Structure 1
Amino acid sequence: MITNMYSRKIVGYVLIESLELKGCVRALNKSIYNAKNIEQLIYYSDSGIQYCSNVYTQILKSKKIKISMTEENHFYENALAERVNGILKDEFYLDQTFTSVVHAKKSSQKRNQTVQL
């Protein structure tokens, strides 16, 4: 998922069965599509292999979005993302084990998806 640090709203997300690059790219493309204005954007993430990939960084560069990343294994530098993940897990009970993507999607549809931090 991708969160706008200014509005603190989730602007792009995809629910898939793995952490493969394709899901991250789909979430990124959704967030770019939903953006009102992409001028002067800075994309900030951890330094996960998906976000460092040529495919992912080329999408950002093609849109002239600046890239900023945490140092390796410094999750505390990405406090907003950790906060959003914590809210989803704790308050929306999304830390449970789902039997399938369909089960997870049904669970998430039962809850209000607007999270204000």
Structure 2
Amino acid sequence: LASVLDLHSKKIVGYSFSRSMTTELVIKAFNNAHLSQKPSEGLVLHTDLGSQYTSNEFTQHIQNHHIKQSFSQKGCPYDNACIESFHALLKKEEVNHVQYLDYQTAKLAMFQFIEGWYNRKRIHSSLGYQTPQAIEDRIRNTA
């Protein structure tokens, strides 16, 4: 699972699921996020130092969208704490409790967890006990 999290709303705004973690997978997750959010120029995309994110193909793709890429420092897990927290939560609340029958079942479960639970129903204390979707809705209604 490659996922893109909006740091303000804590919403997973883009993701892609595959059998392996490739540059194409993270580009697809980015494209999903970019399409849904339509960010203005000047956006900063923070990633870890995984080979998918440091590849020339991904770097060029990000630059073509006028987005600045920021990396975690080597050995500093705190830079990626928010997305790492999401992935840990996904494992604790979903993945570790289920034995998926096949790839398609796992893919559907990721969709249901992200879109049906995490973004729309799971409240966050850091968001004043609101959901990521509620925060995004409020932002869009005031813009």
TM band (smaller chain): 0.7 to 0.9
Is the aligned partner of 1:57 residue 2:59?
A: yes
Q: Distance in 2 between matches of 1:62 and 1:22?
A: 16
SS, match of residue 16 in structure 1:
coil
Q: Distance in 1 between matches of 2:27 and 2:46?
A: 15
Shift of 1:44: 0.2
Structure 1 counterpart of 2:102: 100
Q: Deviations over 1:19-50 (max 9, x none)?
A: 11111111111111111323220000111100
Q: Distance in 1 between matches of 2:110 and 2:88?
A: 15
Bigger mean CA offset, 107-116 vs 35-44: 107-116
Select the structure that is richer in helix: 2
Q: Distance in 1 between matches of 2:111 and 2:32?
A: 18
Q: Distance in 1 between matches of 2:72 and 2:112?
A: 34
Q: Distance in 2 between matches of 1:81 and 1:109?
A: 17
Q: Distance in 2 between matches of 1:27 and 1:38?
A: 18
CA-atom RMSD in angstroms: 1.9
Please, what TM-score do these two structures have when normalized by structure 1?
A: 0.85
Of the two structures, which has the highest relative contact order with CA contacts closer than 8 Å and spacing of 6 or more?
1
Q: Distance in 2 between matches of 1:40 and 1:97?
A: 42
Structure 1 counterpart of 2:77: 75
Please, what TM-score do these two structures have when normalized by structure 2?
A: 0.71
Q: Mapping of 1:1-117 within 5 angstroms? A: 1-91=3-93, 93-95=94-96, 98-108=100-110, 111=113, 112-115=116-119, 116=122, 117=124
Shift of 1:77: 2.1
Task: Please list every run of 5 or more consecutive structure 1 residues that lacks an aligned counterpart in the other structure.
Answer: none
Identity %: 28
Q: Distance in 1 between matches of 2:79 and 2:23?
A: 22
Larger C-alpha radius of gyration, 1 or 2?
A: 2
